[in-house]
Chain A
Amino acid sequence: MEFGVVREPVLRVENLRKDYGAVQAVRGIRFEVCPGELVGLLGLNGAGKTTTISMILGVLEPTAGSIQIDGIDLRRHRSRALACTNFAAVYAPLPGNLTVYQNLRIFALLYGVQDFHARAEMLLDAFDLRKFRNTKTGILSSGEQTRVGLAKALLNRPRILLLDEPTASIDPASARDIRHSIRSFARESQVGVLWTSHNMYEVEEVCDRVLFLSQGEIILEGDPKALPAQYGKSTLEELFIGVAREPLDLGALNQ
């Protein structure tokens, strides 16, 4: 980060809460993501990660709180805010009955991409998809489909990119390439990235900052390389397991 330069966050989440009846899935969390910053959102299954991402994507209405994307209030200006956003998730594959290029064309229209052809060609190269340009997306391997999803996620040059386990079904070599690509995109285009993963090595390698979510609350936040040592652990994975076992007793982790 440059000194003296004030960077407005591309994502600002304030007191965000989601209740399902009596169950509080997300309990008043607040965080920010700055331009070019990669933030890991970690937690056990059911901790509230996907609920948080769904709220930021505008497909789930918060019970309370606010979400600002590039300074635009999501609740009041949904369409404008979502035009600055994009996402890729293993549970949201692109339609398998369209070719890779057709999918990119459709989503370019939905996101109002002006220079579609140039942008699509660049992304097909960046994610090694050129040979699948006219292949139905549904017959690609899961790893290839993940790359198509990432290409779609970058079509509109989002200000905030939400990645829910983006490398979950990818072989280690391809996963490393993808991590490198996303990190480069984030740095060069000053895209903020919110990244969920259960692969702590990946998170440690990619993310500038991590947020530990447990039972709908952020209980830990910091640099993934420094955080384990602060809590007497040797790796982020050990810290994750420790937090998962004793989420409300962070003091004990230090001992």
Chain B
Amino acid sequence: MKLSRLAAIPLRQFYLYRGSAARVVPLFAWVTVDMVLWGFMTKFLSGMAHTSYRFVPALLGAVLFWDFMTRVMQGVTTAFFEDVWSRNFLNVFASPITMPEYIAGLLVSSIATSLVGLAVMIVVAALAFGLSFGVYGAMLLPFVLVLFLFGMALGIAAIALVLRWGPAAEWFVWPIPALLSPFACVYYPMTTLPAPLQWLARLLPPSYVFEGMRAVVGGRHFEGALLAAAFGLAAAYILIAYWLFARVFRYAVQTGLIARYSAETVS
């Protein structure tokens, strides 16, 4: 893997973000709105519920982490969409860049953009609503890492979808986090779901993270084996997503889809 080729992708993103308010503002605008909305919601629930349940770290924290995972996914997809929107596939894929380098470049771009969103969310949630990350203790880092890995896997799978089905498939990509959120147990415990859907939840690494968050906040024990399962699943999804992208790319090269991408089909 050549770092210079990999670096071309995040550098391109840097150039684009540097000169474009339309790209910079969404990095923090929507997550800020989410923090404010759910911040007030947690305050309201705290006042209404008359329980010792800690809504701020359990609910607002969960929203923050879910938004972070969404930003990671979108960091990958938007970096890829820049090549779609500027019809740059032929120029990029006729260059010596390899598939691992290209994907790694997208991931580095995503790290940079998602960290901006995370920093803004942390500041808003902490200053406006008193969310303290100390409450998660040593589990904070593994929780963030699992969501980060799964966000990457979703991003890679999403761009495979767009590469295969053309630019219009972009509209399949944006709702992916919303489609997954009911089964990822972001807002409620896994036991809330009917039994068959609990099986689906167990296949999603974020559900372990959010179960773990609620356990830690509630002062309960969270088994390390469950965290290991979350890591294992997230790593497996990255491999599956990469395999999927590589397979779609191969199809695109075999059929000429890369060269005729704007046509969306080769038939």
In this complex, what residue of A is CB-closest to B259?
A54
Asked if B87 CB lies within 8 Å of chain A CBs, one says yes
In this complex, what residue of A is CB-closest to B8?
A109
- The interface residues of chain A lying within 8 Å CB-to-CB of B54 are none
Give Cα A58 to B93, complex, Å: 8
State whether B94 touches A58 (Cβ < 8 A): yes
| Chain B positions 67-104 with a Cβ under 8 Å from a chain A Cβ | 82, 86-98
Asked if B7 CB lies within 8 Å of chain A CBs, one says yes
Binds A, one of B9-17, B41-49, B115-123, B197-205: B9-17
Q: Contacts A20-B256, A95-B88 known; A57 to B94 CB distance under 8 Å?
A: yes
Q: List 17 A-B contacts (CB under 8 A).
A: A20-B266, A51-B256, A58-B253, A61-B254, A82-B95, A83-B96, A85-B94, A92-B90, A92-B94, A96-B86, A102-B15, A109-B4, A110-B5, A110-B96, A110-B97, A111-B96, A112-B96
Q: Is the interface of A mostly helix, strand, loop or mixed?
A: mixed
Least distance between B100 CB and chain A CB atoms (Å)? 10
Q: Identify A98's interface contact among B5, B12, B92, B259, CB under 8 A.
A: B12
Least distance between A91 CB and chain B CB atoms (Å)? 8
State whether B94 touches A82 (Cβ < 8 A): yes
Asked if B258 CB lies within 8 Å of chain A CBs, one says yes
* Residue among A20, A79, A105, A109 with most chain B CB within 10 A: A109
- The interface residues of chain B lying within 8 Å CB-to-CB of A54 are 256, 259
Asked if A252 CB lies within 8 Å of chain B CBs, one says no
Task: Indicate with 1 or 0, residue by residue over A36-70, a CB within 8 angstroms of chain B CB atoms.
Answer: 00000000000000110010011111000000000
State whether A59 touches B97 (Cβ < 8 A): no
Asked if B2 CB lies within 8 Å of chain A CBs, one says yes
> Count of A residues near B, CB < 8 Å?
35
State whether A92 touches B5 (Cβ < 8 A): no
Asked if A231 CB lies within 8 Å of chain B CBs, one says no
Give Cα A94 to B12, complex, Å: 12
Q: Contacts A60-B253, A82-B94, A98-B16 known; A109 to B11 CB distance under 8 Å?
A: yes
- The interface residues of chain A lying within 8 Å CB-to-CB of B8 are 106-107, 109-110
| Chain A positions 135-186 with a Cβ under 8 Å from a chain B Cβ | 152
Asked if A97 CB lies within 8 Å of chain B CBs, one says yes
Give Cα A54 to B11, complex, Å: 27
State whether A59 touches B94 (Cβ < 8 A): yes
Task: Indicate with 1 or 0, residue by residue over A75-106, a CB within 8 angstroms of chain B CB atoms.
Answer: 00011101101010101111111110010011
